[in-house]
Amino acid sequence: MSDPLTILLAARDEEESITAIVEALRRRFPDAEVIVADDGSRDATADRAETAGATVLRLARRGKGQALSAAERAAPPGALLLVDADLRGDASPLLPSNSLLQGMRVAAFASRQGGGFGIAKRVARTLIRLRSGYEAREPLSGQRALSPRARAAVFPLAPGFGAETRMTIDAVRAGVPVEEIELALEHRATGRDARGFLHRGRQLADALLAAGPLRINYRGLRLPLVGWTVALHEPVATAIGLADDAWSGPERGFRAHLRARRTTGVVKLAGIPLYGLLRTRSVSGALLVGLAANALNQLDTRPGRALKAYLAVAPLVGAPIALPVLLTPYDLREMAMLGDGGSNGLGTLLGLKSVSRLTGRGRWAAIGALAGLNFLGEHRSLGALIERAPVLREVDAWGRVA
């Protein structure tokens, strides 16, 4: 290996196996640093990994993808070897002995162990083929060697068990060579019991989310956009917001978009009020819809903030709450994010419901309040103002991961 090598493991409640695997890795790769990302373990995993000679990151529980991403940020530049914390066998053939590592090499297990009916694996293969054209034999294998170029192409990873599926998609789409190598490896297999099916169900759900649109949040975590689900209630405004998610530039705020002229933000600023005008047949309705959508979008800068605002207002105007309640835990735990599609869709929904509830002075009072909030957000950070108000700061922090 010409490149410096760092070995990354994500581990949760692996006290029985972690010592053996860390010691084995240190014997096989004496010059490599072993970093164990302890994903909120409730046992002695972190202590035993540290005693065995690993560098340990003690994390709140975030899931495999985010734990590995934290470990990668802590690693020095160079090549990476990713291995699962329950691996048994020698993963060193993933690293070429006499040449520089090129691209990404993935371990394909020589023999199948346990597992269910192969549904999660088949779906992951299909997702990889549809998004990149690559035919993967082992789409869910966690044993991977990455060159510096491959590392740059795939990190930060998708969250949870979708990390491997998206890793392959990103590598292939970036033009990084991907090679699968059959190795005689073993791991702790899940069976056809309730626990095994639950694990594979999570793999399946995470892979589906990981193959969709992703964005990096304020903390540098790469999260699936789930705002498209709001299209069940409000398809037009959600679609306009999704266009902004997909093609937006660096512009922020009314003035920046208007100066740039041809941006998806301009489409959003004009399109949503126009949609409100067509739906409500009134100028006041168009103003209320446009201002509500933009206000909620301005609040969507921290996990759960926009959804909390929506849920506070929705019962007052008769807007649906079932879907936002379902999305809130994932948003708060930073396992997914609304994005512009979700925040604009929900804001539009609030605006339309408000038009049907408010008339005369009440409607114009709401327009005035929203206009003031939008104006304030143009010139000051709404998030900073929330942080300065003790009561709002406490409510804003409820349920959020530290």
CB 349 within 8 A of CB 233: yes
What six digits make up the tokens of 390? 């003790």
Give the pLDDT score at 146.
97
- Cβ-based neighbour number of residue 270 at 10 Å: 13
- Tokens representing residue 335 in the block: 């396992």
Residue 187 to residue 88: CA distance in whole angstroms: 6
Q: Supply the pTM of this predicted model.
A: 0.83
Residues of the chain with pLDDT under 70: 1-3, 98-99, 112-116, 189, 191-193, 248-263
Domain ranges for the chain: 5-212, 225-397
How many of the other CB atoms lie within 10 Å of CB of 157?
26
Q: Is 166 strand, coil or helix?
A: helix
Q: Kindly calculate the radius of gyration of the chain based on its CA atoms and give it in whole angstroms.
A: 24
d(CA 177, CA 158): 20
Residue 171 near residue 154, CB atoms below 8 Å: yes
Judged by phi (left if over 0) then psi (alpha if -120 to 50, else beta), residue 10 lies in: beta
Task: Please report the pLDDT score of residue 258 as a whole number.
Answer: 52
DSSP string, 209-264: HHTS-EEE-TTS-EEEB-GGGGGGT-HHHHHHHHHHHHH--S--SHHHHHHH-SSH
Measured between its terminal Cα atoms, the distance across the chain in Å is 38
Q: Is the peptide bond before 273 cis (omega within 30 degrees of 0)?
A: no
Query: What's the rounded Cα separation, in Å, for the pair 311 and 360?
Result: 25
The pLDDT assigned to 251 comes to 53
The whole-number pLDDT of residue 101 equals 85
Cβ distance 317 to 308 under 8 Å?
Answer: no
CATH superfamily label, 5-212: Spore Coat Polysaccharide Biosynthesis Protein SpsA; Chain A (3.90.550.10)
Eight-state DSSP code of residue 189: -
Distance set, CA 44 to CA 15, 20, 68, 74, 302 (Å): 6, 14, 19, 22, 33
How far apart, in whole angstroms, are the C-alpha atoms of residue 275 and residue 278? 5
What's the pLDDT score for residue 203?
86
CA 366/CA 359 separation, integer angstroms = 10
Q: Among residues 249, 208, 251, 240, which one has the least CA distance to residue 226?
A: 208
Backbone angles phi, psi at 57, to 5 degrees: -105, 120
Residues 244, 268 contacting (CB under 8 angstroms): yes
Residue with tokens 């306009």: 240
What type of residue is 250?
Answer: P
